Amino acid sequence: MDYKAKELHFYGHDTFPLRHRWLPKAVKHVRETNNLSDYYSIMTEQGLGRNMAKSMRHWAESTKIVMHNHKTKEHYITHVGNIIFGEQGDKYLQYSDTIWLIHYLLVTNHKKNALWYYLFNCYGGNAFTKDSFITAIRAWLEKIEHPNPPGKKQLERDFNCCMNMYCLSDLKKKRNIDEYISSPFNQLQLIYQKRGEYRIRSMSSMEVSEQMFTYCLLNYLQL
């Protein structure tokens, strides 16, 4: 993947992890209004607070389900978004292939999710603590000469959000049951905690269908 350091983007999620219902809500709202920038409309129509409305837009764009046309100032549903959330799709995210696809779209989008991109594409290890990971990503940003690297606190907010999306043990600490069941990615059980470390588990080839693997591979080669 040919990326430029200045394209890497951090934060944007307002500390809210992606919630299970947000992508279907975002698609529905775009179909009705072509606009995810009118947060008041999202608040009234979708029953979300302002920060959650901003976060929903962030994740809809980050997963490439919805895109923003900077010329027309409107949002539109992408081709893959229409496939997933169309009449013949998996709009309730019931199948693991769908979750894996959205995960792939998220972690290859360095322009929106630099920490996620680094963790799953560049980090190289499968065990880390918060401190060791923050140290590693700051060294990486220095190596690639990022023009305006985020501070430690900002990276920690991204890290916490990422772990809340993927790590079941982190989610189980939450008192709010809505947070526990919120992220579709906790179904993948990709990250777990053991002996004070976060660990990325090894995947089995049986977890993703051949068709989904082929689609992601061909898409990756075009990035």
- Evaluate whether residue 222 is within a structural domain: no
For residue 2, the model assigns a pLDDT of: 56
Q: Are the beta carbons of 34 and 73 closer than 8 angstroms?
A: no
- Evaluate whether residue 128 is within a structural domain: yes
Total domains present in the chain: 1
In sequence order, the 6+-apart residues with CB closer than 8 A to the CB of 188 are 96, 99, 100, 103, 166
- Evaluate whether residue 221 is within a structural domain: no
- Evaluate whether residue 219 is within a structural domain: no
| Selected residue with higher pLDDT from 67 and 3 | 67
Q: What is the domain extent for residue 41?
A: 7-212
Q: Are the beta carbons of 96 and 188 closer than 8 angstroms?
A: yes
- Evaluate whether residue 99 is within a structural domain: yes
- Evaluate whether residue 2 is within a structural domain: no
- Evaluate whether residue 83 is within a structural domain: yes
Please state the separation of Cα 9 from the chain's center in Å.
12
For residue 174, pLDDT beyond 60: no
For residue 34, pLDDT beyond 90: yes
State the average pLDDT for the chain: 91
* Nearest C-alpha neighbor of 60 from the set 39, 177, 134: 39
pLDDT tens string 111-168: 999 999 999 999 989 999 999 999 999 999 999 999 999 999 999 999 999 999 999 7
How would you list the strands of the sheet with 127-128, edge to edge?
A: 127-128, 197-200, 191-194
